[in-house]
């Protein structure tokens, strides 16, 4: 769902129906070293929380997590969902995220791009560089020159120069 209301259900599907959270666990560990996602077996509703190394016996429910952590988890859920749509558009996914999360976010984008077409718009040079380093897709830079917006390397014929 576009509002994230099904995020717990996405995680529960991966954990309890698909029984495959290896990629999700790895990206969460990369983003939050030592932390783990906790997805209880759903009863009437699905839920999730996280445990952190500083408090290993305590599970922090979703309502207790920071906005940045929730946004990263929402992006993970959207990009790792069992059935991705044919086209995924992300507009500035880096907003509200700690700069240290750019590499794990690029990993998520790269994994999703293996299964779907992904279009991402960002103002973060760090995220663009990580995506360029971790994916085989094209990273294009939009610039403003003499008041006109252009895509770097795009020719007047609509093709890209090979060196760009």
44-98: pLDDT as tens digits: 999 999 999 999 999 999 999 999 999 999 999 999 988 899 999 999 999 999 9
Q: Say if 35 falls within a structural domain.
A: yes
State how far the Cα of 71 lies from the Cα of 94, in Å rounded to an integer.
9
CB-based contact 35:28 (threshold 8 Å)? yes
State the residue range of the domain holding 114: 7-151
CATH code of the domain in which 93 resides = 3.40.50.300
Into how many domains does the chain fold? Answer: 1
- The whole-model pTM stands at 0.88
Residue 21 falls within a domain, yes or no?
Answer: yes
**What is the spatial distance between Cα 120 and Cα 44, in angstroms, rounded to a whole number?**
35
């Amino acid at each position: 769902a576009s509002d994230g209301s099904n995020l717990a259900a996405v995680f529960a599907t991966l954990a309890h129906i698909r029984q495959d959270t290896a990629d999700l666990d790895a990206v969460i560990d990369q983003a939050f070293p030592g932390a783990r996602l906790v997805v209880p077996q759903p009863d009437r509703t699905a839920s999730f929380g996280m445990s952190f190394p500083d408090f290993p016996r305590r599970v922090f429910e979703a309502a207790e997590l920071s906005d940045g952590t929730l946004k990263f988890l929402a992006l993970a859920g959207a990009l790792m969902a069992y059935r991705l749509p044919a086209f995924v558009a992300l507009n500035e996914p880096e907003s509200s995220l700690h700069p240290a999360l750019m590499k794990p976010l690029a990993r998520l984008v790269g994994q999703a791009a293996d299964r779907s077409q992904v279009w991402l718009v960002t103002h973060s040079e760090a995220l663009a560089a990580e995506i360029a380093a971790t994916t085989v897709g094209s990273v294009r830079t939009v610039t403003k020159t003499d008041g006109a917006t252009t895509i770097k390397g795009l020719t007047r014929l609509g093709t890209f120069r090979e060196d760009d």
